[in-house]
Amino acid sequence: MRFEAITIKDIALALGLSTSTVSRALRDSHEISPETKEKVLSYAKENNYKPNPIALSLKEKRSSSIGVLVSEIANSFFSQAINGIESVAQEKGYNVIIAQSKEYFDREVSSMQFLASRSVDGILFSVSAETSDFTHIQQLYNRGMHMVSFDRTVSFGDIHKVSVDNFKAAYEATTLLINNGFNNIACIANASFLSITMERVEGYKAALKDHSIPIIEENIGFCSHGGLIYEEVEEILNKKMLGIHKPDAILACSDKITTNTMRYCQVHKISIPQEVGLLGFSNLDLTDLLSPSLSVVRQPAYEMGRIAAELLINQIASKRPVTQFNNVVLPAELHQRDSTRKK
């Protein structure tokens, strides 16, 4: 049997009232007597009446829903960011529709189009590792879609942005490795054109320069799919770990690159930190329980999601056009553990 939700017409028939009277009673209109309101509201509650969101969106030109587009929901960083987004959305009465690009540009484009077709009131997004062309985003933006860019931010137009201080995080992480006696440090990052990659690589280079360590471009590797595919991390590490100038430490600049670097070392029986130190960007909750325990840069993902959602919903609810846009940059946390302590 197909489920049929109770409607205003059903309530009107049951109570012997007009649909307009029921509608006004549900809206708490002053035109309806308290007695009639009580009768309508009581019946609606008993029969689990819920307003039809599609009908409301057509009438009010708002759906009370927001879209979220990330690279991978299973990624610990993005799952925590989504938790922050949903905490605000629930409080403000918004539903959340989540899509993932899996680090593919074409999938990002189709996901953006899908979210827009669902008549969401706004979109929170972090671009894929393949995305260097923002035309599909600009088109939605130019048509009036409310948007907030977070984590992997975009540089076009007037748009709210929420990110972490990637330069400082990478600078401090590289400095920690140097201070612990490592001086031939490799850096493995996301696709080279992403905002987070450029900022983290610059932080890495600045730390080397400030400690009078030569910058060797061959020590820097880029993963076109952000480490999501193990083989791309393996290919980079084969060149570095099996070459003549083997690094004595690795700065891994994303969750997946970090975990796949650990996996590579286990497969090839490379001891951490005796043979190579490892410090990664990771929001996994169990990094302290790994063997060895993993030194990490931990990003405030939940807070990032919460702030991004607040900015988006405030923009949607604003009675006037928004003319001032925020670029929120949050600090990361550096946790030193056994993977960066030379024995």
pLDDT on residue 3: 47
User: What global pTM score does this model have?
Assistant: 0.82
Angle made by CA atoms 244, 170, 84, in degrees to the nearest 5: 130
pLDDT on residue 279: 98
Q: Between helices 230-241 and 255-267, what is the axis angle to 10°?
A: 60
Residue at token pair 């490799």 = 186
Side-chain half-sphere exposure of 113, counting CA atoms within 13 A: 8
Q: How far is CA 240 from the centre of its chain?
A: 30
Task: Return per-residue pLDDT of the chain as tens, 343 residues.
Answer: 444 567 888 888 888 988 888 888 887 888 889 889 898 888 888 887 776 655 554 454 566 899 999 999 999 999 999 999 999 999 999 999 999 999 999 999 999 999 988 889 999 999 999 999 999 999 998 888 999 999 999 977 789 999 999 999 999 999 999 999 999 999 999 999 999 999 999 999 999 999 999 999 999 999 998 888 999 999 999 998 877 779 999 999 999 999 999 999 999 999 999 999 999 999 998 898 888 999 999 999 999 999 999 999 999 998 888 888 999 999 999 999 999 998 6
C-alpha dihedral sign at 179, 185, 190, 195: positive
pLDDT on residue 52: 60
Q: Return the bridge partners of 327, or none.
A: 161
Torsion of CA 254, 256, 262, 264, to 10 degrees: -120
Domains recognised in the chain with CATH numbers: 8-50 (no CATH), 63-164+301-331 (3.40.50.2300), 166-299+334-340 (3.40.50.2300)
Task: Measure Cα distances from 186 to 40, 43, 228 in Å.
Answer: 69, 67, 19
pLDDT on residue 32: 87
Rg of the chain in Å (alpha carbons): 25
Segments in 161-300 forming alpha helices (H): 166-179, 195-210, 230-241, 255-267
